[in-house]
């Protein structure tokens, strides 16, 4: 598996400082992107927290997920959470080490009392002494929040005094890309009051002893467990993975469940669990199975295989403005593209970590990570395999059917209502539930090339096909 050495460099450790007037929660930043470009130590906010104890617990929950490995627990190099300033809020994000849980704490404007929130994305230092200090933040303690150094700090430090490198699997970035695609297909399925949320979440098992897939359905003011999916049900794969919600549970004002539409024949699916807090939201998105990380879900493959989406993404990217809510209709009007093409362009930008999705507002949001879409293309094994098939001339089109020849095996790919199916083992196993197989993806590339009047089956129509493979290891600095 391709790995990078992610370098964090901070001017000093993040800490809670006690003063006669109260406390200061000083979060140090490393290598961020802002509207002014790259900055070594960007500053996003200086002001008071309306509910410091809730914010402290929420930040700990995000850090808990970053330090956890829910499937086959083992020692893991923790990645520092990502923070994005969107002008009216701060978003703290992390992924579990196993790649199957995505956590985000949204600190909204009503919880922030101070300077205007800045724009940009960076990492924040969450070290062990800080974690210990955050557990002691009381409900009545006045707390000043600093996200990034002030001008005085910048002038008193010659360089970083805290620097560490963390092995970062390439699938971590792909997880960011896949979750925004998956979550955009969610709808609100159930809402619980604070009391019912506490009762339900505390009733869940704390260990993964049972591997049976769990489902829940709304039942009056609460939820009812069921062993099989029914319309309106929400999948709860690995309930022990919701443990991070426990830190903030006593502050909850409600719980909202989000998921895709399911039928009685549906298999396990992802779901999002949004805990409402005073002025904040903590959301955990779970992969369809504890043993299944988000990186292999395949939701971005169609967009990556399209040359049209690459061109559209370049156009849409210059129109993004760190908006907390990306307006698809406005982008369509400004770019002259259809909403469907704008959505595909956003999906492609998401492969570079530049787009996230907020289920609470059913809207995309803008962030910036220091990667390009070409990196995601080069590191996606199914896309690389599909491009190799195209370049080898393995695809033959026959109307609605296509034949893909791999060595001495022949696979048939059929098109029906815009959906491709295949006779290969991958399709038989997942039935499209984890995106297209390499054969269907190769057929899609060739069909698009034929439609655009390009070179047909001997030349790949994807820009990534001409990009050299990435090296087995590299070093990067900045937000991840």
Check residues 399 and 14 and name the one with the higher pLDDT.
Answer: 14
- When pLDDT is cut at 50, 70 and 90, the band that residue 310 belongs to is confident
- Give the mean pLDDT of the chain: 84
CA distances from 479 to 34, 82, 444 (A): 11, 6, 34
| Rounded Cα gap, residues 243 and 452, in angstroms | 50
What number is the average pLDDT over the span 137-162?
78
Query: What per-residue confidence (pLDDT) applies to 223?
Result: 94
Which residue ranges form the domains of the chain, and what is each CATH number? 8-86+109-168 (no CATH), 301-375 (1.10.10.10), 380-466 (no CATH)
Cross-strand bridge partners of residue 107 = 90, 280
| Rounded Cα gap, residues 45 and 114, in angstroms | 8
Query: What per-residue confidence (pLDDT) applies to 158?
Result: 65
Query: What per-residue confidence (pLDDT) applies to 255?
Result: 98
> pLDDT tens digit string along 338-361?
998 999 899 888 888 889 999 999
| Rounded Cα gap, residues 353 and 171, in angstroms | 12
Query: What per-residue confidence (pLDDT) applies to 1?
Result: 43
> pLDDT tens digit string along 157-216?
666 778 877 765 566 677 888 899 999 999 999 999 999 999 999 998 877 655 678 999
Look at residue 141 and tell me whether its pLDDT is greater than 80: no
Look at residue 274 and tell me whether its pLDDT is greater than 80: yes
What number is the average pLDDT over the span 102-118?
94
Cβ-contact 195, 223 below 8 angstroms? no
Percent of residues, the chain, with pLDDT higher than 70: 84
Cross-strand bridge partners of residue 105 = 92, 282
Among 147-161, 339-353, 384-398, 461-475, which stretch is predicted with the lowest mean pLDDT? 461-475
What number is the average pLDDT over the span 235-262?
95
Look at residue 473 and tell me whether its pLDDT is greater than 50: no
Look at residue 152 and tell me whether its pLDDT is greater than 70: no
Highest mean pLDDT among 4-8, 16-20, 149-153, 364-368: 364-368
Check residues 307 and 270 and name the one with the higher pLDDT.
Answer: 270
3-state secondary structure the chain: CCEEEEEEEECCCCEEEEECCEEEEEECEEEEEECCEEECCCCCEEEEECCHHHHHHHHHHHHHHHHCCCCCCCCCCCCCCEEEEECCEEEEEEECCCCCEEEEEEEEHHHEEECCCCEEEEEECCCHHHHHHHCCCCCCCCEEEEECCCHHHHHHCCCCCEEEEEEEEHHHHHHHHHHHHHHCCCEEEEEEEHHHHHHHHHCCCCCCCCCCCEEEEEECCEEEEECCCCCCCEEECCHHHHHHHHHHHHHCCEEEEEECCCCCCCCCCCEEEEEEECCEEEEEEECCECCECHHHCCCCHHHHCCHHHHHHHHHHHCCCCCCCCECHHHHHHHHCCCHHHHHHHHHHHHCCCCEEEECCCCEEEECCCCCCHHHHHHHCHHHHHHHHHHHCCCEEEECCEEEEEECCEEEEEEEECCEEEECCHHHHHHCCECECCHHHHHHHHHHHHHHCCCCHHHCCCCHHHHCCCCCCEEEEECCC
């Amino acid at each position: 598996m391709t790995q990078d050495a992610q370098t964090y460099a901070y001017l000093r450790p993040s800490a809670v400082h006690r003063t006669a007037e109260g406390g200061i929660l000083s979060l140090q930043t490393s290598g961020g992107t802002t509207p002014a470009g790259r900055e070594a130590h960007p500053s996003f906010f200086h002001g008071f927290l309306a509910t410091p104890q809730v914010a402290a617990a929420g930040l700990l929950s995000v850090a808990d997920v970053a330090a956890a490995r829910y499937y086959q627990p083992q020692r893991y190099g923790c990645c520092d959470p990502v923070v994005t300033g969107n002008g009216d809020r701060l978003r703290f994000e992390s992924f579990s080490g196993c790649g199957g849980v995505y956590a985000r704490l949204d600190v909204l404007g009503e919880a922030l009392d101070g300077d205007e929130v800045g724009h940009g994305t960076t990492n924040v230092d969450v070290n062990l002494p800080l974690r210990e200090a955050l557990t002691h933040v009381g409900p009545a303690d006045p707390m000043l929040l600093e996200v990034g150094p002030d001008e005085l700090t910048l002038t008193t430090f010659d360089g970083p005094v805290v620097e560490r490198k963390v092995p970062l699997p390439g699938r971590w970035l792909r997880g960011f890309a896949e979750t925004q695609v998956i979550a955009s297909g969610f709808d609100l399925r159930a809402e619980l009051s604070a009391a019912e949320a506490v009762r339900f979440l505390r009733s869940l098992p704390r260990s993964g002893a049972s591997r049976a897939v769990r489902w829940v359905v709304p039942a009056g003011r609460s939820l009812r467990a069921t062993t099989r999916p029914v319309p309106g049900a929400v999948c709860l794969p690995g309930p022990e993975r919701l443990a991070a919600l426990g830190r903030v549970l006593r502050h909850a004002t409600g719980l909202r469940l989000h998921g895709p539409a399911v039928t009685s024949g549906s298999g396990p699916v992802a779901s999002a669990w949004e805990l409402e807090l005073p002025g904040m939201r903590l959301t955990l998105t779970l992969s369809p199975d504890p043993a299944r990380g988000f990186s292999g879900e395949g939701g971005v493959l169609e967009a990556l295989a399209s040359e049209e989406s690459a061109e559209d993404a370049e156009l849409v990217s210059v129109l993004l403005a760190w908006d907390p809510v990306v307006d698809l209709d406005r982008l369509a009007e400004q770019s002259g593209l259809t909403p469907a093409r704008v959505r595909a362009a956003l999906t492609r930008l998401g492969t570079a970590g530049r787009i996230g999705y907020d289920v609470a507002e059913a809207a995309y949001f803008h962030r910036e990570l220091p990667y390009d879409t070409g990196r995601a293309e080069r590191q996606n094994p199914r896309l690389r395999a599909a491009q190799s098939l195209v370049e080898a001339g393995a695809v033959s089109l026959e109307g609605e059917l296509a034949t893909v020849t791999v060595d001495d095996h022949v696979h048939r790919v059929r098109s029906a209502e815009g959906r491709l199916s295949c006779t290969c083992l991958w399709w038989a196993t997942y039935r499209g539930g984890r995106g297209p197989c390499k054969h269907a993806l190769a057929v899609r590339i060739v069909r698009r090339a034929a439609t655009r009047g390009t070179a047909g089956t001997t030349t790949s129509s994807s820009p990534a096909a001409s990009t050299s493979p990435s090296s087995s290891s590299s070093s990067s600095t900045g937000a991840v």
